[in-house]
Structure 1
Amino acid sequence: MSKNLAARLKQPGLIVAPGCHDALGARIIERAGFEAVYMTGNGLSASLIGAPDIGLLTMTEMVERGRAFADAVQIPVIADADTGYGNANNVQRTVRAYEAAGVGAIHLEDQVTPKRCGAMAGLALISPEEHADKIRAACEARRNPDLLIIGRSDARIPNGFADALARGRAYAAAGADVVLLEMLQSAEEIREAVETIDAPLMFNYVDGKAPPLTAKEFEALGVKLLAFPVSATLAYAQMMTGFVDHIKAHGTTADAPQGRMTLADYEALLGKSDYI
């Protein structure tokens, strides 16, 4: 598989990119046959510092995780770059850092700094004009034209669909290679966004917050890139909770209902034979 996500985006068909919060998860996603992996800022905040996604991680922390993902797999990495960590000048530095790390795409969102998870209440946004300027700055900063700049808007919940749609159009006009409208609420909204935004549409499937559609249904609506940003982290948290509860109750890992990969399979997944 190729790391050139830009070339793949021009081909027919939906690209599905499950999310994860570490390079091990990225390897598992690649092994399952997916064409790309999504690096979740929400999951990284949880896994690195045990805190919610409210803009606590720095650009350098995020970029280093992006580098680890890109080093671990051959498929493209789509990375959360939050708001670009400041103004247009910061955005340009962010783009160059992620590009040097080897990721295939980053998305920049139109929230104020510090941001918060798009599924949270109380989102505050910058103006669409300011974010369009940041998109232009991002496109100018990249040295490799194959690095995709994804213009993201979080306007749907606080401002409504009409504003989110207008922002998506503005970000496409500013040069975004892909547009992501967070928290679209129905198939009809997705279809209208696809039909009226002059750029491929990405959809983030957030459990409990997204229309209950399958990948085939998203593809039929015209979505080009489908990510599951936090699902794997939620699954990990659920699994770990049950696993440690089992140890606490029984004093052993034997017969834990969550099950475990064998040590041999785990070492094979990590490519132990390539090192020894």
Structure 2
Amino acid sequence: MTTSSLAQRLRQPGIVVAPGCHDALGARIYQQAGFEAVYMTGNGLSASLLGAPDIGLLGMSEMVERGRAFAAAVDVPVIADADTGYGNLNNVVRTVRSYEAAGVQAIHLEDQVTPKKCGAMKGLALVSKEEHAEKIRIAVATRKSADFLIIGRSDARIPLGLDEAIARGQAYAAAGADLVLLEMLQSEEEMRRALSAIDAPLMFNAVDGKTPPMNAAQFERLGFRLLSFPISATLAYTHMMQRLAEHIRATGSAFGVPSGSVTIADYESVLGPANIEFANVNSQ
């Protein structure tokens, strides 16, 4: 499988849209829909694997293995949530090496304390910008290839305000981050301020109900280079499962769900079973 390079693509004009999902099936569907990259959501993985909120319960090895599965399932770049790097500087070194070896092409490291919370939650606690900038420096120094991208993420906007979020973005850019992600910017004016003040390409996570309901063309006009909708797929999946559960409970059947479903043939076409080769094992 030949995978395209996210680093090379970002040097070309136009925004890259990398919608988020919590499994390799979703990644394949996004690729087949024509997206140039996919995003592996930590929030959605915590929900799908543990049935639990995103409060730092998943460890580095669990996340890396899912990243490996994503990268093996698609030939577009995979961008992954790497939380806080899962600990101190030594943990960051291991995190970078592991994700890069798994075939993931970019990770973002956030400046929360460990264990972290979803950036949309209340009560976020952050480390100093100096401490996180050092994590970014170590991450950049650790990677084997410059095409493995380090995204410096700050969750400071909600607990500490826009000025502090921008200051942190500047510090992470100065530390060598290939892109900067400021979570939860609340208006186009805030976005313009961040874009003009930070000397690095910016990524944006568009979160349903938490950030302005803008589309890719609007983000591109402002100057963002990378856009994700990190938990939209998981929210849609939750809605679908609730409707399916209600229908089975009410009718005693899984057939005829009002929201509809794909056929087995369509499902198999997504998975591509004809492309999988099975070895013949001859028993003695």
Q: TM-score, normalised by structure 1?
A: 0.99
Superposed, 1:101-116 pairs within 5 Å as 101-116=102-117
Per-residue CA shift, 1:7-52, capped at 9, x if unaligned?
Answer: 1111100000110000000000000000100000000000001000
Superposed, 1:133-172 pairs within 5 Å as 133-172=134-173
Distance 2:144 2:171 in 1: 23
Superposed, 1:3-22 pairs within 5 Å as 3-22=4-23
Post-superposition offset of 1:271: 1.0
4+ residue segments displaced more than 2 Å: none
Deviates more, 1:189-198 or 1:162-171: 189-198
Post-superposition offset of 1:254: 2.1
Distance 2:117 2:254 in 1: 37
Unaligned 5+ segments in structure 2 are: 278-284
State the match for 1:49 in structure 2.
Answer: 50
Distance 1:123 1:275 in 2: 45
Post-superposition offset of 1:128: 0.2
Per-residue CA shift, 1:210-240, capped at 9, x if unaligned?
Answer: 1121111111000110000001000000000
Query: Given residue 166 of structure 2, which amino acid in structure 1 is its aligned partner?
Result: L
Distance 2:193 2:37 in 1: 26
How many residues align? The count is 276
State the match for 1:23 in structure 2.
Answer: 24
Higher-Rg structure is 2
State the match for 2:187 in structure 1.
Answer: 186
Post-superposition offset of 1:275: 2.1
Superposed, 1:222-261 pairs within 5 Å as 222-261=223-262
State the match for 1:195 in structure 2.
Answer: 196
Query: Given residue 248 of structure 2, which amino acid in structure 1 is its aligned partner?
Result: I
CA RMSD of aligned residues (A): 0.9
Distance 2:4 2:183 in 1: 25
State the match for 2:64 in structure 1.
Answer: 63
Query: Given residue 201 of structure 1, which amino acid in structure 2 is its aligned partner?
Result: L
Superposed, 1:198-217 pairs within 5 Å as 198-217=199-218
Task: Check whether the contact 1:203–1:226 (CA below 8 A) recurs between aligned residues.
Answer: yes
The percentage of aligned residue pairs carrying the same residue is: 70
